[in-house]
């Protein structure tokens, strides 16, 4: 190969790179497009949502609530009054997203904050006919155009309503993907992941709300609230199912339908659709997103307590019970959260005696705890504890600890019948109970 030809090839190579940079903006954009990552080490802790051109306020609030349910970030909705008229291209009847991003630079923020503008109008970027979103990788600003996200994906084209769960789903997926780009994430080849490129609304609807291989990184930054191992179902599917609830005539069935589906959207404001089950809907979201602040907002004391003990049980953190209210409410939260675990050590932390007794009674079903009944203060509860424990572990000696004759007889009968031991029937004082014990074993003459 001649030096001239080699030089020509080198020149053409640099020319191609130069033209590509002009098309994409910078080298990093190109590398993102092919899936390379340059993850930042700085966690995002606050997102400013800018309402441009009068996006429906309730929709912006739903986006804000959903972000806080999924990510450990603060959100703030601002109407900054940005003048974006200069970004409007009358020849295309579209807004230029690049010019809007330039205008967003006026909103000052730190490197661990993001400014995300949501616009209802159709938008484009240089070299693209339209955009769903456009991130500024240098400044961390993002513009989301919901105009085409509101299109239906079927044969009949219509605009989705602002309160349609499918619109919220699409917006969040688009927002999270752009947020990922500003944090140094590249495209994902897995079509189910949030960082995957979507060629159509159908592809957008079918992908999940999961960061997949980027999840552990976000978890290390402390940004994720959801279980990183949870394979989140595409919310668009759930959104479509929610629509079906509207057509149900029976009120109870309709509310049950909403209760089953709305928590999967992680949208607190939609829980009102579940009617009398609204509190349970919010409780599920609190537990599933591990967001204890949701429990704080319950107005009814009983519902708040229920939220706390379910949360404590699910996340295995009994410290949250301290927020449940007075000492009785705190202790009630602890023992209710301990019901399934039956952890004896938890019972000793309960200060309210009758609640501690019930905690011990629940723990009695663990065979290794033979002496826990001695710690039950209430007389009747202590006898019940001895009786239950003796029957559970088939130990008649425990029956001898019961001072009341009637309860002691019943204990001997229960254990004797279970282990087929006639000698235990002979220890029974009450003749009727003794005969019944012997008959059960076929030994009554």
- Percent of the residues in the chain that have a pLDDT greater than 70, as a whole number: 79
Q: Beta 94-96 vs 88-89: how paired, if at all?
A: antiparallel
Contact call for residues 312 and 328 (beta carbons, < 8 A): no
pLDDT of residue 32: 42
Domain segments of the chain: what residues? 3-33, 46-230, 295-363, 386-445
What is the per-residue pLDDT across 374-395, written as a single tens digit (0 to 9) for each? 777 777 778 888 888 888 788 8
What superfamily in CATH does domain 46-230 come from? Collagenase (Catalytic Domain) (3.40.390.10)
Is pLDDT larger for residue 235 or for residue 433? 433
| Closest C-alpha among 175, 161, 93, 103 to residue 132 | 175
Per the CB < 8 A criterion, the answer to whether 307 and 295 are in contact is: yes
What mean pLDDT comes out for the span 70-99?
87
**Which whole-number Å values give the CA distances from 295 to 31, 91, 197, 287, in the listed order?**
43, 52, 37, 9
Would you say 386 and 371 are in contact if contact means Cβ atoms under 8 Å apart? no
Summarize the confidence of residues 20-31 as an average pLDDT: 47
What's the rounded Cα separation, in Å, for the pair 361 and 371? 12
Q: Which residue has the higher pLDDT, 200 or 74?
A: 74
Residue entry with tokens 């019948």:
417
- For the record, the structure tokens of 367 come out as 């065979």
Helix or strand or coil: residue 96? strand
The residue assigned the tokens 């969040």 is 172
What percent of the chain clears pLDDT 90, i.e. is strictly above it?
A: 17
| Residues sharing a CB contact under 8 Å with residue 371, sequence separation 6 or more, in sequence order | none
State the chain's mean pLDDT as an integer.
79
Report how far apart, in Å, the C-alpha atoms of 14 and of each of 4, 8, 282 are. 16, 10, 57
pTM (2 d.p.): 0.51
Predicted confidence band of residue 228 (pLDDT cuts 50, 70, 90): very low
Lowest mean pLDDT among 28-32, 287-291, 323-327: 28-32
Q: 94 has which bridge partners?
A: 89
């Amino acid at each position: 190969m001649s030096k001239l030809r080699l030089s020509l090839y080198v020149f053409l190579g640099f020319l191609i790179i130069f033209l590509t940079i002009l098309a994409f903006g910078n080298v990093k954009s190109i590398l993102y497009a092919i899936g390379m990552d340059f993850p930042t080490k700085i966690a995002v802790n606050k997102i400013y949502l800018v309402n441009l051109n009068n996006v429906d306020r309730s929709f912006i609030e739903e986006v804000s609530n959903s972000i806080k349910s999924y990510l450990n970030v603060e959100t703030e909705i601002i109407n900054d009054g940005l003048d974006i008229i200069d970004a409007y291209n009358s020849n295309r009847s579209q807004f230029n997203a690049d010019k809007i991003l330039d205008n967003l630079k006026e909103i000052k923020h730190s490197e661990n904050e993001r400014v995300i503008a949501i616009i209802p109008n159709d938008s484009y970027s240089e070299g693209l006919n339209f955009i769903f979103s456009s991130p500024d990788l240098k400044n961390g600003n993002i513009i989301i155009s919901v105009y085409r996200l509101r299109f239906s994906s079927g044969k009949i084209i219509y605009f989705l309503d602002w309160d349609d769960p499918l619109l919220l789903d699409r917006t969040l997926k688009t927002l999270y993907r752009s947020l990922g780009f500003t944090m140094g994430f590249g495209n994902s080849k897995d079509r189910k992941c949030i960082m995957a490129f979507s060629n159509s609304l159908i592809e957008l609807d079918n992908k999940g709300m999961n960061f997949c291989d980027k999840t552990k990184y976000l978890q290390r930054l402390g940004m994720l609230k959801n279980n990183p191992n949870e394979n989140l179902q595409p919310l668009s599917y759930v959104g479509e199912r929610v629509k079906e609830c509207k057509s149900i005539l029976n009120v109870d069935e309709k509310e049950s339908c909403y209760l089953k589906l709305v928590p999967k959207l992680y949208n607190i404001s939609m829980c009102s659709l579940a009617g009398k089950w609204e509190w349970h809907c919010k409780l599920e979201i609190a537990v599933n997103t591990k967001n204890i602040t949701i429990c704080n907002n319950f107005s009814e004391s009983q519902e708040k307590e229920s939220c706390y003990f379910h949360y404590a049980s699910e996340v295995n953190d009994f410290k949250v019970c301290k927020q449940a209210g007075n000492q009785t409410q705190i202790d009630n939260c602890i023992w209710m959260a301990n019901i399934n675990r039956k952890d004896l050590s938890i019972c000793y932390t309960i200060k309210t005696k009758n609640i501690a007794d019930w905690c011990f009674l629940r723990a009695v079903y663990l065979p290794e705890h033979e002496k826990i009944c001695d710690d039950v203060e209430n007389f009747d509860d202590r006898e019940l504890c001895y009786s239950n424990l003796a029957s559970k572990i088939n130990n008649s000696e425990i029956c001898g600890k019961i001072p009341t004759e009637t309860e002691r007889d019943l204990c001997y009968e229960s254990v004797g019948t279970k282990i087929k031991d006639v000698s235990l029937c002979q220890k029974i004082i009450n003749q009727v109970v003794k005969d019944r014990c012997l008959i059960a074993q076929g030994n009554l003459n």
